[in-house]
Structure 1
Amino acid sequence: MRQHVRSWRIHRRTSATLDEPAQQCNTTIQGWWNYYGAFYRVAMHSLFGYIDLWLMRWARRKYRRLRQRKRRSAEWLRKMKFAHLRLFVHWRIVGVSVG
């Protein structure tokens, strides 16, 4: 699954808004949650954290003020989760913690 997440190349789509990767990823993430979530919740939560890491990498590439600041990009992602909780499927499932 991680290899599939890597193949999305989220971090390379800096011209896109946050909505576009969400639309691309949500159906796949929801399908994985429906299939694996019943028995492998811990593994799914680690995958959700992995997706969040790629989103933080995307933010660091898109926004110049976050370039060399991993902690700031994590804080930016946490703010996005509060503001747009329903944007990504895994944000609704896990909540607002940043992995």
Structure 2
Amino acid sequence: MSREVRSWHLHTRSELSFDELARRINPAVAGWINCYGRCRPAELHPFLMRINAYLVRWIRQKCKRLAAKRKAIAKMQEIAQRYPRIFAHWRCTPTVNAVVV
């Protein structure tokens, strides 16, 4: 799974909108959640947090005024509050605050 997420190169896809990015990764992430979420939730949670870290890197690349990590994390928290179900893994992660970049 990690290799697959790295192959997406999310942080370099600054031409995509947040919705387009969600449409691209949600099918795979939802499948992993359904498969591994039942038998190995403790191992799945850090992986989902790493996807959040990639999304923060994407925000930093997309908007140069959000290049500071704290600003990018704040923007992601704002988006998560406004659209809590845009990404499949946001339903499983308790908060977006636990982003580690």
- TM-score w.r.t. length of structure 1: 0.92
Is the 8 Å Cα contact of residues 49 and 93 (structure 2) preserved in structure 1? no
- Kindly provide the amino acid, as one letter, of the partner of residue 15 in structure 2: S
What do you get for the CA RMSD once the two structures are aligned?
1.1
Percent of aligned pairs with the same residue? 33
- Kindly provide the amino acid, as one letter, of the partner of residue 38 in structure 1: R
Question: Between Structure 1 and Structure 2, how many residues are aligned?
Answer: 98
Structure 2: 5+ residue runs without aligned partners? none
Q: How far apart, CA to CA, are the structure 2 residues paired with 1:48 and 1:56?
A: 13
Name the residue aligned to 1:44: 44
Q: How far apart, CA to CA, are the structure 1 residues paired with 2:56 and 2:90?
A: 14
Q: How far apart, CA to CA, are the structure 2 residues paired with 1:70 and 1:43?
A: 26
- TM-score w.r.t. length of structure 2: 0.90
Structure 1: 5+ residue runs without aligned partners? none
Name the residue aligned to 1:33: 33
> Which ranges of 4 or more aligned residues in structure 1 deviate by more than 4 Å?
none
